[in-house]
Amino acid sequence: MEVINRIDALRERLRGCAGTALVPTMGNLHEGHLSLVRQAVERGRPVVASIFVNRLQFAPHEDFDTYPRTFEEDCEKLAKVGCDVIFAPDDGEMYPEPQAYRVQTPAGLGDILEGEFRPGFFEGVCTVVLKLFNCVAPHTAIFGKKDYQQLMIVRRMVRQLNLPVRIEAGEIVRERDGLAMSSRNRYLGREERSEAAHLHKVLSAAVERVQAGERDFAAIEAAAMATLVERGWEPDYIAIRRRDDLSVPDEAGPAGSADEAGAPALPPPLVALAAAKLGSTRLIDNIEID
């Protein structure tokens, strides 16, 4: 496995490689990232994992400076799962001058949910992802479903800008108690860590209500938010949304309507998404509703 820090050296290494698979990361790798790299190994060669903590996607009050940087451990983990190249540029390599050209994400998608609570986040993500695609020229790039909205926004960017890359999704990897793996879990104190699994539990309970046929989504969301508040969380949102564009689903439609034969119409595919702070740690999670 090679570690490459410079864009020109990376391009040289990958010259003529038609099947490169890329896993973009900000490092501090856990099993969630490693499962994406294993998926990449099945999809193409060489497998490139990028490690770059992207200043552009952090608001001034967020944790850019304290974001965990564990490069040596990350390299060991990546070598074990069959990564071929680590691309680890520094700030000056990715942003040699102020990044004035940026990807503007669409209103109604980039400014809802995560975008509402983290203004500029998706602009920062899309800008660096586009730059990484231009550096690596991957055939396939793999993004985890844990960042559900990010995955959707990147997919749309690729489609609308005709980028020649195939985007694949990787499943969420969870701890035994259901907590979605995340680099930010390491910020949790011991008591917070045992409480943290409740984000998934509360979200699962909301999903069960939808699966049982309830269609008052606002009431389900409000109840889930209230449960989190009672448990000491500060929720930003619990949202039941359409999977295709994250818009608010029509409450009356799926449950109330019927097809020509009188059978209840199937609801559109939905996803339940959550973001909440526990102490000073902000966690996100989501569950696709089947």
So which residues are the catalytic ones?
33
Residues facing residue 143 across a β-bridge: 169
> Which of 24, 115 has the CB closer to ligand PAF?
24
> Which of 187, 217 has the CB closer to ligand PAF?
187
Provide, rounded to whole angstroms, the least separation between the CB of residue 26 and ligand PAF.
Answer: 4
**Start-end of H helices in the chain:** 7-14, 31-43, 71-80, 91-94, 114-117, 121-136, 148-160, 190-196, 198-211, 217-230, 252-256
Provide, rounded to whole angstroms, the least separation between the CB of residue 125 and ligand PAF.
Answer: 5
Task: Quote the CA–CA distance of 149 and 151 in Å, as a whole number.
Answer: 5
Provide, rounded to whole angstroms, the least separation between the CB of residue 195 and ligand PAF.
Answer: 24
DSSP string, 114-128: HHHHSTTHHHHHHHH
Site of interaction with ligand PAF (CB under 6 A): 24-26, 54, 57, 125, 128-129, 147, 150
> Which of 67, 223 has the CB closer to ligand PAF?
67
Sheet harboring 2-4: ordered strands across? 2-4, 85-87, 47-51, 21-25, 140-144, 166-170
Pairing of strands 234-242, 270-278: antiparallel
> Which of 21, 220 has the CB closer to ligand PAF?
21
Provide, rounded to whole angstroms, the least separation between the CB of residue 25 and ligand PAF.
Answer: 5
DSSP three-state, residue 51:
strand
| Single-letter amino acid, residue 200 | H
Residue 259 neighbours by CB distance under 10 Å: 9
Provide, rounded to whole angstroms, the least separation between the CB of residue 11 and ligand PAF.
Answer: 19
> Which of 140, 210 has the CB closer to ligand PAF?
140
- The C-alpha angle 238, 239, 244, rounded to 5 degrees, equals 150
